Structure 1
Amino acid sequence: MISLLPAREIDARELAPVLRREDQAEVLALLGPVHLVDGPAESLLEGLASAREAWTARDAGGRIICMAGVSRMSLIGSTGVPWLLGSDLVTVYRRAFLVESRRMVARWLTVFGVLRNVVDARYATALRWMRWLGFEIGPPFALAHGLFHRVSKEAA
């Protein structure tokens, strides 16, 4: 059983040091090695500050599983930028995570006509999850400090 609660700054600070290794690598590929210490917390706090909607998932014992949200790409237009960073508990609560993430994406598509972001090309698990959610995966391209795929999904 997991609970979804409105995300708070304290959640970002709690999740940052326990991020999955792959999520840490993706954040560092986007921000660069100069952000090695503060990068994950910085990314979570920026995502939270710009989010139209953001949630924290916790297990019955109160342990943090992940944070997810969606931000507006620009002041004009109807494109949302979904994001999610998680702890290793994502795999422990895999089934609930998949159900809730599919529900979140469906909700966000009622607010935004298009969802679009990038995923680290090395992050096979995230790319498989994005495909499962129905996102189109673009070819790899160089961005910041690594190779990434554009991912996008349009409302039906």
Structure 2
Amino acid sequence: MLETRRSLPEDVTYLAPRLRDADLRELQAAGSAGAEQSLQDGVRLSKDCITIINEDDKPVAMFGVCPSFEIDVGYVWFLGSDEIKQNKTRFLRHSKRWMETLHQDFPVLTNFVDQRNTAHLLWLRWLGFKFLRTVNALGPGNLPFYEFVRISNV
């Protein structure tokens, strides 16, 4: 069973060492300072940062939207643990509702995803995101990332 609540600082400390390997590889490829710093930045920069918790009130994922310099555009992000897999159906069912909530403040949601992160690619496509172009990340190896976007019905 998964529920959501506003993120707390201790969520970062708990979740950072539990992130999926694919998420950790993506952070590294993007040139991130690491899991804990990325989650702290997410809490600090997002309009609203949300934590997905399990039945024991333990974080299994965090997500949010960071405002861009362009009006109505937000950079959506999501980092999670392998525990998401144990609640896949419930997670997918709620994902569409969460996206609609994020769209209330940002009609355009966008960001970049590591081409190797197949779980995120499938999930983003299922949520209705479109892939625009391939860019090379700034991190080690200049690995390819897809730019993706979802525009709400306005």
Q: TM-score range with shorter-chain normalisation?
A: over 0.9
Partner of residue 137, structure 1: 131
Partner of residue 9, structure 1: 9
Identity percentage over the alignment? 29
- Residue 42 of structure 2 is aligned to residue 47 of structure 1: yes
> What is the CA distance between 1:107 and its match in structure 2?
1.2
Q: Distance in 2 between matches of 1:89 and 1:104?
A: 18
Offset from partner CA, 1:53-92 (integer Å, 9 cap, x none): 1111111122321001111012x41101111100000111
Partner of residue 146, structure 2: 149
Partner of residue 123, structure 1: 117
Q: CA RMSD in A?
A: 1.2
Alignment of 1:7-156 (within 5 A): 7-31=7-31, 35=33, 39-74=34-69, 76-145=70-139, 146-156=143-153
Aligned residues: 150
Secondary structure of the 1:66 match is: strand
> What is the CA distance between 1:93 and its match in structure 2?
0.8
Offset from partner CA, 1:94-122 (integer Å, 9 cap, x none): 11111222111111112111000000011
Q: Structure 1: 5+ residue runs without aligned partners? A: none
Secondary structure of the 1:15 match is: helix
Q: Structure 2: 5+ residue runs without aligned partners? A: none
Q: Distance in 2 between matches of 1:62 and 1:111?
A: 27
> What is the CA distance between 1:45 and its match in structure 2?
0.4
Q: Distance in 2 between matches of 1:139 and 1:78?
A: 21
